[in-house]
Structure 1
């Protein structure tokens, strides 16, 4: 198997359908599934699962092909990855801890919704569940606690589309 993580700086030459793309964003990485023909499918907070042009999602940032979960979990076939990603377009329901862009992308490729970056930030002291919970409920007034926390990459994509 080729290297599971291929680092690139906005080079699109070797991306294959079914690859997971990891975009550097402020504070978090944003994830998408490449489905071919310059298109990706990805989870956003405000608009749910979207099918968009890769160039619109890149937003002048670095990105990486990150199929690193393949080391532990065999990926689905490429047609199945693409089919599963497309089957969720329009789905709503974002939650940083259980249904974010990384969960979506890893489920599409490997059949397991996994998110390493949130756990790593909590372990590293860069994110506190109790602080996040109190700040989100006070800012929204909803009392929905940690469910309102958002990966900045997932919201910046929606905001960029509006501009």
Structure 2
């Protein structure tokens, strides 16, 4: 837990996608930091205990960097508590963390999933004689999952 300093971004591995959170300067009674993040579960931004935010998933430091101070990052994050309207496409946890860090508000996971879906559908169009709607649906779904998986940041090895 000593590596998880306030203002840094952590990624919790939920299988095909990852959930990004900002490490808070608040510490819970179990000695773990609180995390600030935007979730579909809450529909907005909340500052929550580590175990609630990570839901017991493997969590590691992200390589996202910022030129902002820790105070600015935490101020940005807390300014959106209860105000941020979660949307998987346009205001998810990655959009939120990038915004808090003063980075371009984007999501590699959304881009990866979208690219994968289009790529899967195009593959069907090019390679399947007389494709059916289900062929496109299955290929697009596989593409989404593949795109999400490929867009995940990998844990730093130290």
Same fold flag (TM > 0.5): yes
Q: Quick check: 1:121–1:127 contact (8 Å CA) kept in 2? A: no
Is 2:119 the counterpart of 1:119? no
Look up the match of 2:50: 54
Is 2:40 the counterpart of 1:45? yes
Within 5 A, what are the aligned runs for 1:17-36? 17-36=6-25
Describe the shift of the 1:59–1:127 C-alpha distance in structure 2 as closer, same or farther (beyond 3 A): farther
SS at match of 1:124: helix
Look up the match of 2:88: 96
Within 5 A, what are the aligned runs for 1:48-87? 48-68=44-64, 70=65, 74-87=66-79
Unaligned runs of 5+ in 1: 1-11, 136-150, 152-163
Q: Quick check: 1:45–1:93 contact (8 Å CA) kept in 2? A: no
User: For residues 53 and 20 of structure 1, what CA distance do their matches in structure 2 show?
Assistant: 15
SS at match of 2:6: coil
Q: Quick check: 1:49–1:88 contact (8 Å CA) kept in 2? A: yes
User: For residues 57 and 82 of structure 2, what CA distance do their matches in structure 1 show?
Assistant: 25
Larger RCO, structures 1/2 (Cα 8 Å, 6+ apart): 1
Q: Which moved more, 1:83-92 or 1:105-114?
A: 105-114
What's the offset of the Cα at 1:128?
Answer: 7.6
Question: Post-superposition, which runs of at least 4 consecutive aligned residues in structure 1 deviate over 3 A?
Answer: 124-129
Higher Cα Rg: structure 1 or 2?
2
Unaligned runs of 5+ in 2: 28-32, 122-132, 138-147, 149-158
User: For residues 59 and 90 of structure 1, what CA distance do their matches in structure 2 show?
Assistant: 20
Task: Please report the RMSD computed on the Cα atoms of aligned residues, expressed in angstroms.
Answer: 2.7
